[in-house]
A = this chain, B = another copy of it.
Amino acid sequence: MKWFALPMLTRRLLIAALATIVALGSGLPAAAQEDPLPSWNDSAAKTAILDLVAQTTTEGGANFVAPGDRIATFDQDGTLWVEQPLYGQGFFALDRLASMAPDHPEWKDTEPFKSVLTGDHEAMGKFTEKDWMEIVAVTHAGMSTADFEALVTAWVPTSKNPIFGAPVTDLTYQPMHEVMELLRANGFQTWIVTGGGQEFVRAYSDDVYGVPTEQVIGSSIATKYEMVDGKPVLMRDPKLFFNDNDEGKAIGINLFIGKRPQIAFGNTEGDAEMLAWTTAGDGLRLGFLVLHDDAEREVAYGPANGLPDTKVGTFSQALMDTAQQNGWTVISMKDDWKDIFKGHLKKIE
């Protein structure tokens, strides 16, 4: 019988029994165990996460996983931090274009730069992939990897999300921090698997998420080895090397980790293959999708479940259907998360 086919009450009772056993095993009374996920309301998602941790770490159990094989993967935009009204890295590109504009007077009359510099959001909404690659080429390439890292590091504290009026790195979800910490405390490696730029995310991943650079998989452009003043540098070339979206997420996990995750978190179409690859493995494997259904505390968008449509981080009804068919758990930000942000960050309006 499948776990998720059990009635909710039965599942809760089983989890409570399991928690007691774990607590007894640790020599501590059950009451003394602190909730490792205090920002989560009791929910199917919370229960499933705690159950997976208990089962994969119980030696001798059917779903025990050796510590070196315990892998968890997390999408970033919309899963670990806010992606509305635009991806954090999008703001970086726009800020950088604006700061470079004085040296490029020709951009005033050239697309796609003109639309960006005049703040024409309607035109930007229609940008093609080629348009974005042109923007990436001038804002993310033509410099060394070290110079790029320095640029991102300097930009982060100056960044400002217009909905919350705070730097992008303040907009991380406290419940997801707790999941990452719980997993790491139980011997899991917590990898970021992002459609965003690998080197962009690496500039802050350790500080912000406790994830070291070598556990960040992302999209990347090519780099070229060149000698400058007798020393080797890696120059960023405006050519896509790896697209870590959709099928690329499964391919990237195999390329960088070489092991299949036990648990994966995403929030959009681009994460479906990561979850499919994860949950197709033997033993206990779980997939989760964050649904942005909290208009009051964050931003409500889908268009699944009748939520407003969006071009940034689409969660379609088709994805909702796929989740149900595959037994993936949908996390409702509104119902499942007691707190969304550390420090109770609030929207400006």
Contacts and interface: CB of A to CB of B under 8 A. Distances in A.
A233 to B, nearest CB: 8
B213 A258 contact: yes
A161 interface: no
A202 B250 contact: no
A146 B258 CA distance: 10
Contacts of A234: 250-251, 254
Contacts of A276: 232
Interface string A220-246: 100111000001101000000000000
Given A212-B68, A273-B232, A223 B255 contact: yes
Given A145-B254, A232-B273, 11 more contacts: A198-B258, A202-B258, A213-B257, A213-B258, A214-B257, A214-B258, A216-B258, A223-B254, A231-B280, A234-B250, A256-B256
Contacts of A68: 206, 212
A212 B198 CA distance: 22
B223 A256 contact: no
A232 B213 contact: no
Interface of A: 68, 145, 189, 198-199, 202, 206, 212-214, 216, 220, 223-225, 231-232, 234, 247, 250-251, 254-259, 273, 276-277, 280
Given A232-B250, A280-B232, A258 B225 contact: no
A234 to B, nearest CB: 5
A253 to B, nearest CB: 9
20 contacts: A68-B206, A68-B212, A189-B214, A198-B258, A199-B258, A202-B258, A214-B256, A216-B258, A220-B255, A223-B251, A223-B254, A223-B255, A225-B247, A225-B250, A225-B273, A232-B273, A232-B276, A232-B280, A234-B250, A234-B254
A254 B236 CA distance: 12
Contacts of A206: 68
Shortest 10 CB-CB distances between A and B: which pairs? A213-B258, A225-B247, A231-B280, A214-B257, A202-B258, A232-B276, A232-B277, A225-B250, A223-B251, A234-B254
A173 B292 CA distance: 54
Contacts of A255: 198, 220, 223
Contacts of A198: 255, 258
Contacts of A189: 214
A183 to B, nearest CB: 16
A259 B213 contact: yes
